Chains A and B, each alone.
Chain A
Amino acid sequence: MRTSMLKSILTVALLMAGASSARAAASEADFKAAYAAAEAANKEAAALRNQWTTTAAAMAAAKKAADSGDFDQAVAASKEAEALAKASIYQATSEKEAWKAIEIR
């Protein structure tokens, strides 16, 4: 009983490990989707005339990783780029009124 229980716990643990490693290995399609999302957000930041250099750097890093076949890194960098682009959009939107707070009057 005790041995069979240990065996089943081990099996579940191995299965989980296998599943998580399968999740971690991103594909080219994952990269393309993540990169497209970053690109769309950065385009929106450009329309607001407020792109960040760090967004462009993260997108370049994503492309470089994808070119070398490291899609995990490519997806991670794309997601970072998307987050940075979204932060720049938030900044531009909130600054539409917030700038007045520091104006010399």
Chain B
Amino acid sequence: MKPRSAIHFASAALALAALALSAAPSAFAADTPDPVADAKAFRKYFTDKFPKVKLQDFVNGPYSMNEDLHRQWEEKEQFPPYEFSLDLGKEMFAKPFKNGKSYADCFANGGIGIRQNYPTFDEKEGKVVTLELALNRCREANGEAPFSYVKDEMAALTAYMAFTSRGKPFDIKIPADPRALEAYQNGKRYFYTRRGQLNFSCATCHVQSPGERIRAEVLAPAFGILNAMPIYRSEWSGMGTISRRFVTCNSQIRGVPLNPQDDEYRDLEYYLSYVSNGLPISGPGARP
């Protein structure tokens, strides 16, 4: 090797080494949770990927990805399939418990127009509290048996509460508490972790492939995916809650689902809701 080319080679090697070193701290920094930066990057990813979709329309899931489906959905909304559940929820919400108290006594603003604030981080408990969990805790505190987390009554109650929040942007807070940040990070990890025999993560479908078909379904984007919950799904022939969605997602990829409202699911809901901050609540919704 001539001296000149040796110098060129050495400087190239040094430049590469410097690049590698400068990349190392950023990789380390990426391990420190930064929810604000995450939410910004999350929104940018989806708005860049789907430049024609209006920001507010992401909450409409598969309908925002496909014109034909969008038209079908608009027609469906004339006589929405969740209406029965919504009426039931309104009735249940107003009916007092045996002790004379009601759901309104358990929530801020009498439970009206507060859906966008859930999940919250309960600093006393040191854990995430979802709306479904808060509703069952309210029942138990008033001597009533808890409802199943996945459908029927729980779907009806959350449908009504979501309806009273329609149009209000998600406003999930992460308090300055290391446990809250840890819960957020755990939710994020769950979202991106591959599981089940099919080796899918939530992100495989809802980040890497929204708008694509998986069998007959059009996959929804993860951005705004919880804003329409609970939903009437034609596939279920009924209503389903966020718990039901998480459990069935896990089963579909051949993973044994966790129990509804296990910490992982609560944290996942916290993460997904936080990164959709600013998008309006549109629930209850209807999906194919």
- A88–B251 CA distance with the chains assembled, in angstroms: 14
The number of residues on chain A lying at the interface, defined by a beta carbon within 8 Å of a beta carbon of chain B, is 20
Our pick among A84, A88, A104 for the contact of B207 (Cβ within 8 Å) is A104
Tell me, in angstroms, the Cα distance from A56 to B199 when the chains sit together. 17
What separation, in Å, do the CA atoms of A87 and B198 have in the docked complex?
11
Set of chain A residues within 8 Å of B201, measured between Cβ atoms: 99, 102
Asked if A49 is at the interface (CB within 8 A of a chain B CB), the reply is yes
Complex contact A53–B254 (CB within 8 A): yes
The yes or no answer to B11 lying at the interface (CB within 8 A) is no
Query: How far, in Å, is A100 (CB) from chain B's closest CB?
Result: 7
Q: A88, A98, A102, A104: which has the most chain B beta carbons within 10 Å?
A: A104
CA distance in complex: A87, B41 (Å) = 33
Residues from chain A with a CB closer than 8 A to the CB of B188 are: 103
| A75 → chain B closest CB, angstroms | 21
Cβ contact of B30, chosen from A56, A95, A105, cutoff 8 A? A105
B192 & A53 in contact (Cβ 8 Å cutoff) = no
Can you add 15 more A-B contacts, CB < 8 Å, to A92-B195, A99-B201?
Answer: A50-B255, A51-B256, A52-B256, A53-B197, A56-B256, A88-B197, A91-B194, A99-B189, A99-B192, A102-B201, A102-B203, A103-B188, A103-B192, A104-B42, A105-B41
B residues apposed to A, CB below 8 Å: 30-31, 38, 41-42, 45, 188-189, 192-197, 199, 201, 203-204, 207-208, 251, 254-256, 258, 264
